[in-house]
Structure 1
């Protein structure tokens, strides 16, 4: 009794915390009368009375033989209690013989409320190997940017402009720089050097990435490339935001390839064609004169970070050099993630549930929600530009999500949720 008197004299929060501890210990130790003596205080515990203390006191009352012990359980169920499974087998042992016990359990089960919020449909990126881009070292990027044409309106316009510019920098020669990056190549070209297709691919791929267009180098090889001469060709490829696709770009020839409808093509599409695609030239010189001859280079390929060979990979080139690859694939689709894809995460924003857009695009600068960029205070963390609170107005909701890049919004993906 002295302990309980001290509890009533203690501050409310401290007293309740101590009573909870005593009650839990009494439950674990089967000290039922101790638990029952705490009922008055436990009733003030609005957080746990319905879901913990009332069912526990019903069990305790049965254990000591109190009449109408189930009344506290009925009281809890009337108040919304439904977690009967947490108190089994004690509840059934105490009241399972009651003729209305099945109805009691059904009443409790009916108390389960609808979730206040349920996300019912969300975007998910397709499976693909990790993406590796061909980028210049970060501390060299500004030096490269000062040498490049200014970006145009849209990613495709910018990529074509850079393709034309790259192809006109020098006339092709078989010399190789062997080491170095795009800045080194451009500096040597300014001094009169001329290089091979490899150096065109370096300048083009690293230049595109500097302009925030995801790009990587591509090594093309003819059939039976392990012997002979002239068996390889180096180009680049880029993810073009406004086309929502990868496109192969030949820096040496200032060209890309298109289908019969004029749609720019990616490498796997070129490999799958039965007849050569048409090259489209944007540069001023070095045009492809024999498309059939050059299409033979699409027989085998590898890109920055991966190679694929459905019928087996030959790791040696014409002069016996090893063809290194970080990841060997069977399906070329695994090397081509759709960079407009996005995933979503769930987070708390100001204490409320929110969705965070997680773009696949490496140069995403924010998210778009139903056509409008997600705004955030100037000093807010960058994650805020990808995060949006979920509308909790009762009913069904839908939003079109997209990543935002320096060239505009990407293709949308749908999100659906229901609020109760």
Structure 2
């Protein structure tokens, strides 16, 4: 029995392309002859098998060399040498039959090396690509989808940039009502705004709801934040609710206080994220954009940064206390040790590989939840009007010989995000 017949015939079935009926019949007869060790039948098919350009070099020539050896023909190895001269290299498909037939030849080691040297360079190799850092799943604070358009009509029109849009909405939110300790208990941003229009006044919690859900309605990723003082499990006034947003044009998360119409900045005026604020040894400066009176005692408010949680996650390096001042449970979907795990970089992209028009292409897979496409060396990736939406993220790779690179980025309604480098080589 020809030991390699099952592997070879399986490969033929996997790769066989449409062919003439005659060639298909000959292939079947050849496969059956290999299975049944009918070597003369296989050898009698040589003329027709030579015309099988798809399989002659890689399958039929080595198979006929083995068949010729089995029946004791002189120069049995000639067809194997012919195949290797034409580029054959998959000797492992025909082991142990090849070595049993020709392994005693004095130049056999050289033959195998010649075959090995036939392996061509890959026509295309992606050598460097971006990969997002590991992070907990991102949970945003969004109003229900069927109510989002109603909320959008109540909000200020978005500006050209995400940061200006966020500042405008922060100022607008802080001006909707004067702070009071009343709570709406249930409801979303629309409910809050409707009750405010009827004269209601609410706490910091409702400012955070309107701000976070409003930002998401304007395609700025945002979530609510709960800040707590050091010993928040006892006493009064131990918590404060704010929001945070990923700002495309700043390429960072920024903490936003809807009640005070403020964000916090470092000594150079750079807006800060919650983890940056928690890591500071001294208070940062609050920057006010709304009509509310400036925070009179920054140190008092600074104490609220001792502990924090966000929509979907909480972190507590020294252990999480799940009870608040009045005994209520502080739920969280995911407990983390490191705040960094709750802060994915939303300008990150992953790279997928796909086919476009039968050619190799890469697909940009953004981390940003509101990405509308991708950019390639600064230019938006275009697609025909009726093409699937994912075509706006897909680009065919240049296959001209040489080294290639591209700067790829996600595209949002506010423009392209920070780019990442992709490299590949073509033979």
Same fold (TM over 0.5): yes
Match of 1:371 in 2: 378
Match of 1:24 in 2: 31
Deviation at 1:18, TM superposition (A): 2.1
Match of 1:81 in 2: 88
Residue 135 of structure 2 is aligned to residue 128 of structure 1:
yes
TM-score normalized by structure 2? 0.95
Residue 58 of structure 2 is aligned to residue 51 of structure 1:
yes
Deviation at 1:28, TM superposition (A): 2.4
Deviation at 1:12, TM superposition (A): 6.1
Matches within 5 A, 1:2-401: 13-401=20-408
Match of 1:6 in 2: none
SS of aligned partner of 1:42: helix
Q: Distance in 1 between matches of 2:41 and 2:329?
A: 80
Q: Distance in 1 between matches of 2:40 and 2:299?
A: 93
Deviation at 1:195, TM superposition (A): 0.1
Deviations along 1:91-126, whole A, 9 cap, x unmatched?
111101111111111111111111100000000011
TM-score normalized by structure 1? 0.96
Deviations along 1:195-220, whole A, 9 cap, x unmatched?
00000000000000000000000011
Number of residues of Structure 1 aligned to a counterpart in Structure 2:
410
Label 1:249 to 1:93 Cα distance change in 2 as closer, same or farther (>3 A).
same
Deviations along 1:203-249, whole A, 9 cap, x unmatched?
00000000000000001111111111111000000000000000000
Match of 1:408 in 2: 415
Long gaps (5+) in structure 2: 1-17
Q: Distance in 2 between matches of 1:328 and 1:63?
A: 69
SS of aligned partner of 2:305: helix
Q: Distance in 2 between matches of 1:62 and 1:286?
A: 97
Deviation at 1:23, TM superposition (A): 1.5
Q: Distance in 1 between matches of 2:19 and 2:301?
A: 84
Deviation at 1:351, TM superposition (A): 0.7
SS of aligned partner of 1:54: helix
SS of aligned partner of 1:417: strand
Deviates more, 1:177-186 or 1:289-298: 289-298
Deviates more, 1:284-293 or 1:259-268: 284-293
State whether residues 252 and 286 of structure 1, in contact with CA within 8 Å, keep that contact through their aligned partners in structure 2. no
State whether residues 396 and 417 of structure 1, in contact with CA within 8 Å, keep that contact through their aligned partners in structure 2. yes
Long gaps (5+) in structure 1: 1-10
Q: Distance in 1 between matches of 2:375 and 2:280?
A: 36
Deviations along 1:318-348, whole A, 9 cap, x unmatched?
1111111111110100000000000011111
Q: Distance in 2 between matches of 1:26 and 1:184?
A: 79
SS of aligned partner of 2:20: helix
State whether residues 81 and 108 of structure 1, in contact with CA within 8 Å, keep that contact through their aligned partners in structure 2. yes
> RMSD between aligned alpha carbons?
1.0
Q: Distance in 2 between matches of 1:256 and 1:196?
A: 18
Match of 2:4 in 1: none
Match of 2:424 among 408, 417, 420: 417
SS of aligned partner of 1:146: helix
Q: Distance in 1 between matches of 2:26 and 2:302?
A: 81
